[in-house]
Amino acid sequence: MAPLDSTIGALQIGFALSTFLFGTTTVQLHFYLRRFPDDSRSLKALVCIVWLAELGNQFCLCHIMYWLLVTNFATTRLLQGPLPLSAPSLVLFDTFITVIVQGFFASRLWRVSKGFKVFCVLISLIVTRFSLNLAIGVLDFRSPTTTSLLNFKPLGNLMTSTWAISVATDLLMTILLSYDLHTRRSGVHRTSRLLDRLIIKIIATGMLTSISTILMTICFLTTKNFGWIAIFITQADLFSNAMLASLNSRVCRRPTAKDSYNTISDFHLTSVHPDNRTEPSTETMASTSGTKDRQAV
């Protein structure tokens, strides 16, 4: 397959996947704003900023596809020309979303484990990845042609280094969060089961971004086509979905009759006394006493 055909095919596949994931992010944002109205304004603003950045990322993808399939339709020497401005902008949006999401998970780990040294290591990795991505974006802006950019060997080294740091950051945060929750297990069966579900969710969200980045790196290093572009396009969507999934996996209140939806991630941690007995609610006590009264009558 010709380089141009493989590039267009990979972009089309990535664009379709990215559009689907953007719709998933929008649905998750709707669930979050509706189900957690008591969250802080700063957290809500952060989530909305991530969604707006992903919207900008989607606009850049649409412009790239229009530039390829409409403006330069049937242009055989397309790769000999410069990239549109939407291409480096896409890299910058991806960088912005990834840094925010990884910084969010790092701050959550710091609040949970209180490990300042680990937090500093994670922040160093995130800042390093951010700097490398900025360098890639600058090279995209300054590249005279697409072919010269793709054949520029330092760019490949920058990209593989960036992806390696991203995988290391995601895996480190996933392992540390899972270990911290595992150490909080107690003798209460219900609480232990809920902690196990939390650990599974953390591993699922952390491993999804890590596995996709590893696959993208393998495709980039071992194949001569541009299939890795399809995975690269979806990276920002995967990170934003991971952030919203972690927020929506909480439950701040029990579902009511007004809620027309319910997710498998709903769970509720009951308060536990030192003697390992759960505290009954007021409604339970009232209903129990009413039942006893009716039996007595």
CB atoms < 10 A from the CB of 259, how many?
A: 12
CA separation for the pair 46, 27 (Å, rounded) = 17
Which two tokens mark 210?
Answer: 């890590």
Within a domain: 50:
yes
| Residues contacting 211, CB < 8 A, separation 6+ | none
Instruction: Calculate what percentage of the chain has a pLDDT beyond 70.
Output: 72
pLDDT at 156: 77
pLDDT at 50: 95
Q: For residue range 50-66, list pLDDT tens digits in order.
A: 999 999 999 999 998 88
The pTM assigned to this predicted structure is: 0.75
Q: For residue range 226-252, list pLDDT tens digits in order.
A: 778 888 899 999 999 989 988 888 754
CA separation for the pair 297, 294 (Å, rounded) = 5
Do the Cβ atoms of 38 and 44 come closer than 8 Å?
Answer: no
Residue ranges of the chain with pLDDT lower than 70? 1-5, 74-81, 142-153, 185-189, 191, 251-297
Q: How far is CA 68 from CA 4, 71, 141, in A?
A: 10, 6, 18
How many domains would you assign to the chain?
A: 1
Question: Residue 197, class by beta-carbon neighbours within 10 Å (0-12 exposed, 13-18 middle, 19+ buried)?
Answer: middle
State the residue range of the domain holding 103: 3-270
Within a domain: 147:
yes
Within a domain: 107:
yes
Question: What's the CATH code of the domain at 234?
Answer: 1.20.1070
Within a domain: 64:
yes
| Residues contacting 267, CB < 8 A, separation 6+ | 194, 197, 249, 251
Within a domain: 278:
no
Q: How far is CA 214 from CA 51, 113, 183, in A?
A: 25, 28, 29
Within a domain: 242:
yes
Within a domain: 281:
no
CA separation for the pair 241, 52 (Å, rounded) = 13
Within a domain: 293:
no
